[in-house]
Amino acid sequence: MSGHPDGPGLPLVIDTDTAADDCFALLVGLLDPRADLRAITMVAGNVGFDQQVENAFLTLELAGRAGQVPVHRGARQPLVQPWISAEEVHGDGAGGLRRTGDDRPDAEPAQDALVRLAEQHAGELTVVAIGPLTNLALAVRRDPAFASRVRELVVMGGSLNGRGNVTPAAEYNIHVDPEAAQIVLDAGFPSIRFVTWDPLSLQHAVFDAGRIERIRRLGTPLGDFFVRANQASFDFDVAMGVGGSVHCDTLAVLLALDPALAEVERRYDVAVELAGTHTRGATVFDWHAPRGGNATAIERIDGERLFEYVLRLLSR
Amino acid sequence: MSGHPDGPGLPLVIDTDTAADDCFALLVGLLDPRADLRAITMVAGNVGFDQQVENAFLTLELAGRAGQVPVHRGARQPLVQPWISAEEVHGDGAGGLRRTGDDRPDAEPAQDALVRLAEQHAGELTVVAIGPLTNLALAVRRDPAFASRVRELVVMGGSLNGRGNVTPAAEYNIHVDPEAAQIVLDAGFPSIRFVTWDPLSLQHAVFDAGRIERIRRLGTPLGDFFVRANQASFDFDVAMGVGGSVHCDTLAVLLALDPALAEVERRYDVAVELAGTHTRGATVFDWHAPRGGNATAIERIDGERLFEYVLRLLSR
Amino acid sequence: MSGHPDGPGLPLVIDTDTAADDCFALLVGLLDPRADLRAITMVAGNVGFDQQVENAFLTLELAGRAGQVPVHRGARQPLVQPWISAEEVHGDGAGGLRRTGDDRPDAEPAQDALVRLAEQHAGELTVVAIGPLTNLALAVRRDPAFASRVRELVVMGGSLNGRGNVTPAAEYNIHVDPEAAQIVLDAGFPSIRFVTWDPLSLQHAVFDAGRIERIRRLGTPLGDFFVRANQASFDFDVAMGVGGSVHCDTLAVLLALDPALAEVERRYDVAVELAGTHTRGATVFDWHAPRGGNATAIERIDGERLFEYVLRLLSR
Amino acid sequence: MSGHPDGPGLPLVIDTDTAADDCFALLVGLLDPRADLRAITMVAGNVGFDQQVENAFLTLELAGRAGQVPVHRGARQPLVQPWISAEEVHGDGAGGLRRTGDDRPDAEPAQDALVRLAEQHAGELTVVAIGPLTNLALAVRRDPAFASRVRELVVMGGSLNGRGNVTPAAEYNIHVDPEAAQIVLDAGFPSIRFVTWDPLSLQHAVFDAGRIERIRRLGTPLGDFFVRANQASFDFDVAMGVGGSVHCDTLAVLLALDPALAEVERRYDVAVELAGTHTRGATVFDWHAPRGGNATAIERIDGERLFEYVLRLLSR
Ligand SMILES: [Ca+2]
Ligand SMILES: [Ca+2]
Ligand SMILES: [Ca+2]
Ligand SMILES: [Ca+2]
């Protein structure tokens, strides 16, 4: 039950540091008939780069889409600074599961694939970035026309003048590559929509123990995968004082397919702090938007609808 | 004529950039019998320095305490950077009212008064800082023993990993003198308690039109003063999207007298961003507190209790 | 007519923001029989990007090498920040001269050409970077093996703990793209040698009015070109208090071909200031080299030998 | 031979972190009949604060001026950041020598003494600052009129767009308290003259082994003191590649008394880098001086004349 590569779905690329919630976000792109996922592009982030590639292929297998969507390898480290691991959060990001097939990544680098697909689907391509923005930044610098050809970029990253996670001030995806994030914000994308960590995801995208239990009771292979791959980050987030695991990556892909999920949104001038001693990687959303706004923050979603969607997705 | 200079009140200094809410905060220190206000120290902040001094004397008169509490002039500009006015928020900070008397400020500089009072009331003095922290920082550098002698310092300033007001990332009092704030945080005060702008004051210390109307209906001189001196900042805050005027300074003094008003508080390592391009003056509250904590954030108060207190105070 | 494309010359790429001294540096790469110039790669820098491309083709024509060396277009702006022009220094960088031919740039982007040539000439390729380091940084991020395959990178840029030119603290090439410079320094090139602005070039690579006159008297087409294309920067540098025009780019290419020109050199840990208010783009050469050194600074050359070489080159 | 407290000498304060060259600089202020040294003010710097006070009293004794010039204690730490010791350079700063008397420091804090003396000698007082600028900054903030009343401030500190000593980019006195230095530069002193580390002191104020030997051969108590107290910094500087010990503090005091020693000087806009990752504390001298200049750099002195002066001073 998929077969929409040639269907009327939204041409989509997911740029991902595949571990845990990234896997579930890929499932949305792979299984939702509204999506026509043209490529998965890999970026240095959560866990070791090669492990991330394995996790992407594993997810393709579990979705029954092995061999149908190319996986392109991109930046193995952030633009300027060294890689910052989040393995203490995610473990291997797949709950120890291993794929059975032996598909290989596409030879085309991620930045080239992004540039090519934006050209092929000019004005129609949606990119959902659920890892650090290194690949996007490299595509922007590779082709000055790239950004203008992307219909919409959905970014999971940053906080709306709120708290971070990896530091008090910075969310992981932006903290890992602040320069890349700034490049993307300056690039002239026609539309950037932000799914932030705080407050949006902390308020509306947390799956508590009760929700996880409901997923477990599905008894489906995808449900079992979810519970298993999610365990490490669930435990970590709970230890950090969050009431469950946070499904911001999944939310980002769903929002690309279902914009109406957003109940409130607002336009801002967004900048990334590149120079701070304590705040490097913080996202600063200026509500005055003196430069006219370069991005839109999703400020409220229907979190129950997100959970019900995931439940349905995993029940197949 | 309250007559508690020799009473059992809490020995108190209020360090203030007197305009609007600072005036009301002074009223708490001047009229609440639990307070023994030893000095008012003036610091560069909201409005022109000499206007602030006028506003302090006006408040003394309105409280019926003229001539009973010395007013000491302190820093006319922040420690390192130029002064940043908030006159667009406050106007003159007194609704155009003028005092009738001609008391003069005390000749002793604010930093000297702070050092002297901490020595005289060693282990017993409470300082409530409701302006930029310049005077406090100068007292810290003047006398290495100063901080250790202050029983408690209550600071109105910063945000708890939240939004700012004067910039998206920074609250006014800290933004005006970030270096002073960092000096105070590093000084070894036995207790620093923070009344932050966001979320505490925005959630619990906003007086909306209904509350202002209730104050107006008191028909007392103090109530009339409140409404009039408050008008400019009420209008400004409402235009900024806040639902009324924010009474964080008043809250800070009341918390010094009535610690039980705080329903939730937590210890943090707090640092001030001194180097950021977009975040200079942001306060960063590290919940891991790897250095053991240097300050406590008030995280929830009973806002209704604050308002009822103010109503009673102004009804006399 | 040198005819050494297949000869035993040093496989070489010159990465350039072609204007004035960059043209003369290209002449060295095009005419010196010790060089086997495989590509000219263009980077945003001195003057408008398309003008720079014109200047490169003009230089190829004047050297009699039109059609023999490919010109690859690279980054049209720095990695993170906007482009900073130096047109007030250089004018059009060619003294108003125009080429007669209509050769087109190679379709392969500069970063791809750099990666490909480093692979083809692994361990043998020399790259001389005489503009901002954007293309080099993009090649480093495109292929993690790129840096290790380059035999030597000669960089014209920065100052050895000395003065800048475009700001008091920063030299133009590094100031225009500080992040790119830091990426290059961190990339693991087996050898990076720096030709700095201060003190090296200011002490040993200045052509004063007397030297320019000697070039003019050559009466050759190349000599005439030199004098004409050099006029704007000569005038600018003299107005800035330098005793003539500075030929640091030419020096860099010559040093690649003739390492013995360097009389003193020393290994340093070099870092680029990315965060300073007044010093962004400054190069900091740590003589203690606590990390073992990542680059070598040329500290003295025989300036007379440089001039005599240029005189011979232009006399053909 | 002293007795000029009431003489026609230049009213002078030396602000010092007394160790080694600071001692010799004090000797100039104490023994040169052109100076009327009104106070020695102590600032946190080279070595432990109390040791510095001891070194100042020892120098008073050796100069035969014990009890004649008050020693005022000032800041025991820099304005914002923690103290940075230079004890690895100086040892105790006195070659192990101990004073015999038991004079006590004046009770008046250094900042108060500076403010008072500037008022008493308004328009006539010269201050020579040969340590971090903390005391000067505190005096500036204590009294907004202080700076305007000082005839001339001579600062030993920084580098003229050159190398540092304690870091590649920063000289010790400025690096220890960059915020204080910026405050002083912004304060509106009628005249600030800079004696920089590089190039001025490194080129013209180095005493090599031959010069030290000539001092040793004087056989005088002061000569013996010089050699002994100087040994540690001589050894350190030579190990760092400097050709001898650097007598920049001595030079600064002598320049205050003998302006003609300066052969070249130039006006600059000077700023201190407060935010850099690698350059914090660097002094940036802008030769364009777009704000009209706030300080003058001494660019060349007669180094032989400096040495001959010191030789005469120590021969008494
Ligand atoms: Ca992710
Ligand atoms: Ca206030
Ligand atoms: Ca160039
Ligand atoms: Ca000193």
Strand, helix or coil for residue D295 = strand
What's the whole-number mean pLDDT along residues C187-210? 98
3-class secondary structure per residue, B148-199:
HHEEEEEEECCCCCCCCCCCCCCCHHHHHCHHHHHHHHHCCCCCEEEECHHH
Q: Are the beta carbons of A273 and B274 separated by less than 8 Å?
A: no
The whole-angstrom separation of Cα A199 and Cα A298 is 10
CB B232 within 8 A of CB B90: yes
Confidence band of C8 (pLDDT split at 50, 70, 90): confident
Asked if A147 reaches chain B (Cβ–Cβ under 8 Å), the answer is: no
Q: Are the beta carbons of C183 and A274 separated by less than 8 Å?
A: no
Asked if B144 reaches chain D (Cβ–Cβ under 8 Å), the answer is: yes
pLDDT of residue B7: 58
Residue A225 tokens read as 């995968």
If one compares C41 and D316, the residue with the highest pLDDT of the two is: C41
CA B17 to centroid of ligand 2, rounded, Å? 5
Asked if D16 reaches chain C (Cβ–Cβ under 8 Å), the answer is: no
Q: Using CB atoms within 10 A of its CB, is residue D304 exposed (0-12), middle (13-18) or buried (19+)? A: exposed
State the amino acid at position D232 in one-letter form.
A
Does residue D6 have a pLDDT over 90?
no
Confidence band of D2 (pLDDT split at 50, 70, 90): very low
* pLDDT tens digits, B271-314: 999 999 999 999 999 999 999 999 999 999 999 999 999 999 99
For residue A137, which of A93, A173, A85 has the smallest C-alpha distance?
A173
Confidence band of B316 (pLDDT split at 50, 70, 90): confident
Strand, helix or coil for residue A103 = coil
Q: Are the beta carbons of A142 and C275 separated by less than 8 Å?
A: no
Min Cα distance D171 → chain C (Å) is 12
CA geometry: angle at C151 spanning C148 and C156, to 5°?
100
3-class secondary structure per residue, C235-271:
HHHHHCCCCCEECHHHHHHHHHHCHHHEEEEEEEEEE
The whole-angstrom separation of Cα D126 and Cα D72 is 17
Determine how many CB atoms are found less than 10 A away from the CB of residue A123.
10
Which residue stretches of A2-133 are H helix? 21-31, 49-62, 87-90, 110-120
* pLDDT tens digits, A276-285: 999 999 999 9
B274 contact residues in A (CB cutoff 8 A): 277
Helix (H) or strand (E) holding A268: strand A262-272
| The total number of residues written for chain A in this structure | 316
**C64: number of CA atoms within 13 Å, CB side?**
10
Per 3-state DSSP, chain C is made up of helix, strand and coil in percentages (nearest 5) of 40, 20, 40
* pLDDT tens digits, C239-261: 999 999 999 999 999 999 999 99
Helices (H) and strands (E) in chain B, counts: 13, 11
Confidence band of B8 (pLDDT split at 50, 70, 90): confident
pLDDT of residue C316: 87
Helix (H) or strand (E) holding C226: helix C221-239
Query: Nearest-CA residue of chain D relative to B181?
Result: D80
CB B313 within 8 A of CB B220: no
Residue B56 tokens read as 């302090």
Ligand number, closest to the Cα atom of A17: 1
The whole-angstrom separation of Cα C11 and Cα C69 is 12
CB A93 within 8 A of CB A85: no
CB D173 within 8 A of CB D157: yes
The whole-angstrom separation of Cα B93 and Cα B46 is 8
Give the domain A11-314 fold: Inosine-uridine Nucleoside N-ribohydrolase; Chain A (3.90.245)
* pLDDT tens digits, A120-167: 999 999 999 999 999 999 999 999 999 999 999 999 999 999 999 999
Crossing angle of helices A248-257 and A303-315, in 10° steps, is 90
CB A17 within 8 A of CB A26: no
The whole-angstrom separation of Cα A222 and Cα A65 is 13
Measured CA distances, C112 to A312, C106, C143, C303 (Å): 45, 11, 9, 36
Neighbours of chain C (3+ CB pairs under 8 A): A, D
A185 contact residues in B (CB cutoff 8 A): none
Query: Nearest-CA residue of chain C relative to D241?
Result: C287
In a mutational test of the B interface, the residue from D111, D135, D138, D141 whose CB has the highest number of chain B CBs within 10 Å is D141
CB A125 within 8 A of CB A98: no
Residue B125 tokens read as 């003095």
Does residue B94 have a pLDDT over 70?
yes
* pLDDT tens digits, B142-182: 999 999 999 999 999 999 999 999 999 999 999 999 999 99
CA A176 to centroid of ligand 1, rounded, Å? 11
Q: Cis peptide leading into C199, omega within 30 of 0?
A: yes
Q: Are strands B10-16 and B35-42 parallel, antiparallel or unpaired?
A: parallel
Active site residues of D: 247
Determine how many CB atoms are found less than 10 A away from the CB of residue D61.
17
Q: Is residue C247 annotated as a catalytic residue, yes or no? A: yes
Measured CA distances, A144 to A14, A37, A112, A269, C75 (Å): 21, 24, 13, 21, 9
Q: Are the beta carbons of C79 and A275 separated by less than 8 Å?
A: no
Ligand number, closest to the Cα atom of A249: 1
What's the whole-number mean pLDDT along residues A70-79? 98
What's the whole-number mean pLDDT along residues B204-211? 98
* pLDDT tens digits, D174-198: 999 999 999 999 999 999 999 999 9
* pLDDT tens digits, D52-102: 999 999 999 999 999 999 999 999 999 999 999 999 999 999 999 999 999
The whole-angstrom separation of Cα C214 and Cα C226 is 11
Confidence band of D7 (pLDDT split at 50, 70, 90): low
D179 contact residues in B (CB cutoff 8 A): 79-80, 179
Contact pairs from chain A to chain B, CB under 8 Å: 71
Strand, helix or coil for residue B75 = coil
The whole-angstrom separation of Cα B46 and Cα B48 is 7
Q: Using CB atoms within 10 A of its CB, is residue D94 exposed (0-12), middle (13-18) or buried (19+)? A: buried
**C78: number of CA atoms within 13 Å, CB side?**
26
Q: Using CB atoms within 10 A of its CB, is residue A116 exposed (0-12), middle (13-18) or buried (19+)? A: middle
Query: Nearest-CA residue of chain C relative to A179?
Result: C80
CA geometry: angle at A12 spanning A249 and A251, to 5°?
20
* pLDDT tens digits, B20-29: 999 999 999 9
Please provide the average confidence, as pLDDT, over all residues in chain A: 96
What's the whole-number mean pLDDT along residues C202-226? 98
Confidence band of A8 (pLDDT split at 50, 70, 90): confident
B271 contact residues in A (CB cutoff 8 A): 277-278
Q: Are the beta carbons of A183 and C138 separated by less than 8 Å?
A: no
What's the whole-number mean pLDDT along residues B83-110? 95
Min Cα distance D278 → chain C (Å) is 6
Residue D33 tokens read as 């009949």
Min Cα distance B139 → chain D (Å) is 11
D80 contact residues in B (CB cutoff 8 A): 79-80, 179, 182-183, 274
Does residue B6 have a pLDDT over 90?
no
**C227: number of CA atoms within 13 Å, CB side?**
17
Ligand number, closest to the Cα atom of D20: 4
Phi–psi pair at D284, nearest 5 degrees: -110, 115
Please provide the average confidence, as pLDDT, over all residues in chain C: 96
D271 contact residues in B (CB cutoff 8 A): none
Q: Are the beta carbons of D109 and B79 separated by less than 8 Å?
A: no
In a mutational test of the B interface, the residue from A88, A160, A161 whose CB has the highest number of chain B CBs within 10 Å is A161
Asked if A86 reaches chain C (Cβ–Cβ under 8 Å), the answer is: no
DSSP state of D158: -
The whole-angstrom separation of Cα C206 and Cα C183 is 30
pLDDT of residue A316: 87
Q: Using CB atoms within 10 A of its CB, is residue C291 exposed (0-12), middle (13-18) or buried (19+)? A: exposed
Name the CA dihedral angle for D80, D81, D87, D90, rounded to a multiple of 10 degrees. -50
Does residue D5 have a pLDDT over 70?
no
Min Cα distance C131 → chain D (Å) is 23
CA B73 to centroid of ligand 2, rounded, Å? 15
Complex prediction ipTM: 0.96
**A117: number of CA atoms within 13 Å, CB side?**
29
For residue B171, which of B160, B182, B180, B179 has the smallest C-alpha distance?
B160
Q: Locate tokens 């929509």: which residue? A: A193
Crossing angle of helices D221-239 and D21-31, in 10° steps, is 150
Please provide the average confidence, as pLDDT, over all residues in chain D: 96
